[in-house]
Structures are given as C-alpha cells and as structure tokens.
Amino acid sequence: MTIVENLLELVGTPRDGALLRFSLGNEFLKAGEAAQAAVHLRAAVEKDPKYSAAWKLLGRALAEAGRAAEALAAYREGIAVAEARGDLQAAKEMKVFVRRLERTAAGDNVIWGRPGS
C-alpha cells in the first residue's frame, strides 16, 4: 500500500483530523494532484481553523490548481491566523506568495520561482 492509500483508510474514522487531512493534502500535492490536495487541505482548515501550515499549503494547492482567487483568499485567511498565533514566519511566507499571485494576475507569469508557471 502507498502512503496515500494508508492515509485514505483513516478518513472517516476517529483518527480523521486536521493532521491526517494535512498529510493527505501534502502527499497529493507532491504527486502533482493539486485539486485533490486542495480538497483535503480545505478539510484540514475546517477541522482546525488555526492550523497556519494547512492554510499555507491550501493556498499553494489552489494556486497550482489554477484557482488564483481562491488561493489569495486562503493565503489572506492564513496570514490572519498565523499573525494571531504569533507564527510570523508562516505569515511572512504567505505574504510573499500573495505578492507573487497578485503580480501574476497583473500579467507577470512568475509563480513559485518557475518562469511561465
């Protein structure tokens, strides 16, 4: 069984929590399945709205899935959560990603440091 298969077996069980969904989202993102990653990362922040790392990864998954407006909204929510928790590094990183997405929306096609992405 793959890691994803093992994790998916836990969905809907008492162990189905924010960390499980974050882990699933991360694995799907690594596999290039950004839309599926976003589903699990959205579930992670629904289960724990103060999980700043999940907000950051949700923004990335949405951006990679071509859903820039949703990615911006996720990052902005994540920034607010991170700042409220004192997680300043996560807030700083998400602010950088917001600026990149805003530049892309303005016609500059550089996201995640890869030209033409």
**pLDDT tens-digit profile of 13-24?**
999 999 999 999
**What residue numbers bound the domain in which 45 lies?**
3-107
pLDDT digits (tens, 9 = 90+) for 39-93: 999 999 999 999 999 999 999 999 999 999 999 999 999 999 999 999 999 999 9
Reported pTM: 0.87
111 three-state secondary structure: strand
**64 belongs to a structural domain:** yes
Total number of domains in the chain: 1
CATH number for the domain that contains residue 18: 1.25.40.10
Distance CA 117, CA 109 (A): 6
Please give the Cα distance from 40 to 26 (Å, whole number).
9
Could you tell me if residue 95 is inside a domain?
yes
Closest CA to 44 of 71, 64, 16, 70: 16
Asked whether residue 114 is domain-assigned, the answer is no
- Considering the domain boundaries, does residue 18 fall inside one? yes
Residue 68 within a domain = yes
Residues 6+ apart with CB under 8 A from 117: 109, 110, 111
In a domain, 113, yes or no: no
**67 occurs within a structural domain:** yes
**pLDDT score at 107:** 73
Judge whether 115 lies within some domain.
no
What pLDDT score was predicted for residue 108? 54
38 pLDDT more than 70: yes
